[in-house]
Amino acid sequence: MKKLTVRDVDVAGKKVFVRVDFNVPIDENTRTVTDEGRIRATLPTIQYLLDCRAKIILCSHLGRPAGKVVETLRMTIVAQRLSQILGQAVSMAKDCIGTGVEESVANLEEGQVLLLENVRFHPEEEVGASSFAQALAKLADIYVNDAFGASHRRHASIVGITEYLPSVAGLLLEKEIDTLNYILENPAHPFAALVGGANSGDKMGALGNIMNKVDFLLVGGGMAAPFLKAESYETGQSIVETGRLDTAAGLIDKARRNGVRLLFPIDVVVADEMGARATGAVVPVGKILPRHRIVDIGYRTIQSFKEALCRCQTVFWNGPVGIFELPQFAEGTKAMANELACLKATTVIGGGSTAEIVASLGLTGKMTFVSTGGGASMQYLGSQKLSGVEVLLDKNSPVAAKLRG
C-alpha cells in the first residue's frame, strides 16, 4: 500500500482518532451483536495502538438514523461487546462532538479506549460539513482510517476530518487494499469473478475493469437480469434499467473479444410473488413468463457454476445469486458458498451481504479473506480509488518523515 499506515507514525501517548466500521447487526429482542466480524477485523489496529500506549478514540456509524438520535442505534451495546473482546473497559461518550466529549477525551489515559456515540446522529456527517469535521478533529492529534466499508463515502469522519489532522491508514484498511490489489494485479489463474446481488452501477463498473483480468465471469442474482435481457430472453418482473441493459450488452461483447468465459443462468427459480409463503418453480431461461420474477439460480446453473469454480486458483465473490433472505430461494447462494469453502484456491469474499451470508453458514474461516465492505470493494475494483483512501498521506509525502518521530 502506498499510503502511510499507523505503523509508520509515532502514536505513543498521542490522542488517536480511529474511524472504524462497527455497523454490525444487533438483535432487537436480546440487544446483542449477532455478527461481530467487523469489530474483530479492527482488533489488530486497536491492539497495536494499545501496545503503543496511545489514547484511543473510536468513531463509527450504526444503521441509518438519518441525522437524528435513534435510541435503538446507540453504540452502547457495541462498546460493551468490545470491552468483553478486549478484556478491558471501553468508555462510552454521550455524543461524538461537544464540550462533554472533549472532557472525556481530556481524561483519557494512555492505553485507554473511548467509543464515541453514533456519528450519523448528526446530519452534518453525511453531507461532509467542514464545521463538523473540525469538531471531530479537535478531539485528536492523529487520524486513522480503519473503516474500509465506509471509505467510498465523502462523509465528514471519512474525508472531511483529514483536512485538519495528519491522516493514515489502519491495519485493516491496509489489508483490504492489499488484497484487492492482488486480485487486480497478480491473481493466480484461472481467475473467476462470481457476481450477484442487485445490478448496481458500481458492480457494472467493476466488471468492466476486471474483464481483461479474469478467465471466468459468473453472473447471478439481480445482476443476471440485464445480461439475459441483452441476449433477448424474457426477464419478467425482474428489474432491468435501460442503462444497465446497454452496459450488459457491452460487457458480453467485451468478454467474447477478451476470451473470457461468461456464464449467466441457463435455468432459474421464478416466483409470481414475494414473501415468506412464496413458492418457486425451476424453469429454463427461455421459459420465463412476463409475470415471473427471477428469485434464484436453478439446478443446472448451480452445476455449471461449480464446474467453472473448481477449475480456478483465485475466486472473488460479491453478491448472493438469489433472494437469500427467503430460505426457499437461498439454495443457489448456499451452494456457491459451500463450493468456495471446499476449493483449494484463494477465495476473496467481497463484503456486505456476501460476508454476512458466509458468516451465517459458519464458513468464514474456510475463506482466504472476507472483506468488510461490499460497496467499497466493488468501487475499488471498478476504479482502484476510494475517497477515504485517496485523502490519506502518501508514504513519500513531505510530512512522512516528521510523523515517523
> What local confidence, expressed as pLDDT, does residue 200 receive?
72
Please report whether residue 376 resides in a domain.
no
> What local confidence, expressed as pLDDT, does residue 276 receive?
86
Q: Which of 294, 323, 344 is the last residue of a domain?
A: 344
pLDDT of 401 above 90:
no
How far is residue 238's CA from residue 250's CA, in Å, rounded to a whole number? 20
Per-residue b or e along 220-259, where b marks 16 or more CB atoms closer than 10 Å to that residue's CB: bbbbbbbbbbbeebebbbbebeeebbebbeebbebbeeee
Backbone region of residue 236 per phi and psi (left: phi > 0; alpha: psi in -120 to 50; beta: other values):
left
How far is residue 358's CA from residue 115's CA, in Å, rounded to a whole number? 28
> What local confidence, expressed as pLDDT, does residue 404 receive?
61
Q: Which residue bears the cell 457495541?
A: 78
Q: Which of 344, 363, 378 is the last residue of a domain?
A: 344
Percent of the chain beyond pLDDT 90? 83
The one-letter amino acid code at 263 reads: L
> What local confidence, expressed as pLDDT, does residue 274 receive?
87
Mean pLDDT of 314-318: 96
Same domain, 198 and 157: no
Q: Which of 312, 328, 344 is the last residue of a domain?
A: 344
Mean pLDDT of 127-139: 98
How far is residue 23's CA from residue 64's CA, in Å, rounded to a whole number? 10
Same domain, 255 and 117: no
Same domain, 165 and 193: no
Number of domains in the chain: 2
Identify which of 200, 213, 282, 279 has the alpha carbon closest to the alpha carbon of residue 247: 200
Same domain, 130 and 206: no
> What local confidence, expressed as pLDDT, does residue 136 receive?
98
Please report whether residue 354 resides in a domain.
no
Please report whether residue 69 resides in a domain.
yes
H-helix segments, 70-221: 76-86, 99-106, 123-127, 130-137, 171-185, 201-210
> What local confidence, expressed as pLDDT, does residue 120 receive?
98
Same domain, 278 and 397: no
Structure confidence at residue 150 as a pLDDT band (50, 70, 90): very high
Least confidently predicted of 52-56, 163-167, 236-240: 236-240
Same domain, 47 and 156: yes
Please report whether residue 331 resides in a domain.
yes
Compute the C-alpha angle 316/158/354, nearest 5°: 25
Q: Structural domain of residue 38, as residue ranges? A: 6-172+386-403
> What local confidence, expressed as pLDDT, does residue 33 receive?
92
pLDDT tens digit sequence for 209-234: 888 899 999 999 999 999 999 999 99
Same domain, 203 and 272: yes
What backbone torsions phi and psi does residue 182 show, to the nearest 5 degrees? Answer: -60, -45
Please report whether residue 366 resides in a domain.
no
Please report whether residue 391 resides in a domain.
yes
Same domain, 149 and 210: no
H-helix segments, 118-170: 123-127, 130-137
Q: What is the CATH number of the domain that holds 138?
A: 3.40.50.1260
Same domain, 221 and 134: no
Same domain, 287 and 390: no
> What local confidence, expressed as pLDDT, does residue 397 receive?
77
Cell reading at 103: 472532557
Please report whether residue 29 resides in a domain.
yes
Any long-range contacts for 28-37 (C-beta under 8 Å, 24+ apart)? 28/72, 31/77, 32/77, 32/81, 33/77, 33/78, 33/81, 35/356, 35/359, 35/360, 36/81, 36/85, 37/355, 37/359, 37/364, 37/370, 37/372
pLDDT tens digit sequence for 347-385: 999 988 899 999 999 999 999 999 999 889 988 988 889
What backbone torsions phi and psi does residue 113 show, to the nearest 5 degrees? Answer: -125, 135
Q: Which residue bears the cell 461532509?
A: 128
Same domain, 28 and 136: yes
pLDDT tens digit sequence for 230-277: 999 999 999 887 788 889 999 999 999 999 999 999 999 999 988 888
How far is residue 87's CA from residue 373's CA, in Å, rounded to a whole number? 27
How far is residue 119's CA from residue 133's CA, in Å, rounded to a whole number? 11
Please report whether residue 159 resides in a domain.
yes
Same domain, 207 and 83: no
pLDDT tens digit sequence for 323-343: 999 999 999 999 999 999 999
pLDDT of 201 above 80:
no
- Averaged pLDDT score across all residues of the chain: 94
H-helix segments, 310-344: 331-342
Q: Are 347 and 317 in contact (CB under 8 A)?
A: yes
> What local confidence, expressed as pLDDT, does residue 21 receive?
97
Report DSSP letters for 345-366, one per residue.
SEEEE-SHHHHHHHHHTT-GGG
Whole-structure pTM over 0.75, yes or no? yes
The one-letter amino acid code at 94 reads: K
Backbone CA torsion sign across 101, 104, 109, 113 = negative
Backbone CA torsion sign across 157, 162, 163, 166 = positive
